[in-house]
Amino acid sequence: MTIADVSGPSGGRRLIGACVPMLLLVLVVCPVSGAAQDYFPLDIGNEWYYESDLAETQLMTIIGEEVILGTVTRVRRQEMEADLFENFWTRDSAGNLSLHGARSLMYDDFEVAYLPPIRMVDAPLELGKSWVTEGVLPHDLDGTPWDGEPFDYPLTVYSEGFVSVPAGEFYSYGVGFDTGPLLLQSPSGDAFDVFGRHIAVEEILTEVNTTDWYCDGIGLVQHTTYAAGQHALQLHWWSTPVSTESSSWGRVKRLFR
């Protein structure tokens, strides 16, 4: 894993895994003709619950809105037994999904905003498609830029097809990169991925190239990290606000035609 200098204003924050985009996957399933795909529904109140075969659990919730570097984003909170973090998202009219920043709620000294935001999904997805968000410069959430050089964040669709999880079988696209995770360091020296998840550097594996699986109209159906011994967190159930429930279930039914 290569190292690059991106020290923060106080010399504490830096990029410790260079130009290695995080794996993002997206699952697309029989989208409505002419309609933009929605690879991760951002309606406030949406919830997803995951478990691994090691009894690890995670609850993911869209909890509200927050302005990040002048842009109104949706806040996705991820609650785990050993971690709690938030990340900030937007989706445009074409279905592109962008990550604007993250913060840890367990480690007080880690927060980051990305300028430009990292495009995690370049819609529509198809097997073999690649894209790069160039010249990303980390900032504090108050707008203070970090010292150091910006980084590029490339992603590729590595898989396409049905993924079976406890919640069902979903046609999915797997997105990621094959050069190892891009990590950011807090002033205290802890390492985090671009989503704000705490990472133990000594456990990192670099041969993995896919960590997240998304489904059109559903969201993430499976995701994992680069940590040695990590098992995928698989979707067990999800819920949506009443106003969007019928639309979401309509998309689900189309998966099995």
Structural contact between residues 129 and 151, judged by C-beta atoms closer than 8 angstroms: no
Structural contact between residues 81 and 88, judged by C-beta atoms closer than 8 angstroms: no
- Tokens 């659990």 sit at which residue? 57
Structure confidence at residue 111 as a pLDDT band (50, 70, 90) = very high
Which pLDDT tens digit goes with each residue over 180-231? 678 898 988 899 999 999 987 766 666 667 888 989 999 999 998 766 556 7
Distance CA 30, CA 253 (A): 10
Distance CA 106, CA 82 (A): 9
Over residues 127-140, the mean pLDDT reads 96
Q: Which pLDDT score is estimated for 200?
A: 79
Which pLDDT tens digit goes with each residue over 146-175? 988 899 999 999 999 999 999 999 999 999
Q: Which pLDDT score is estimated for 155?
A: 92
Of the CA atoms within 13 Å of residue 193, those in its CB half-sphere come to 23
Q: Which domains does the chain have, with CATH numbers?
A: 14-254 (2.40.360)
Which pLDDT tens digit goes with each residue over 90-106? 999 999 999 999 999 99
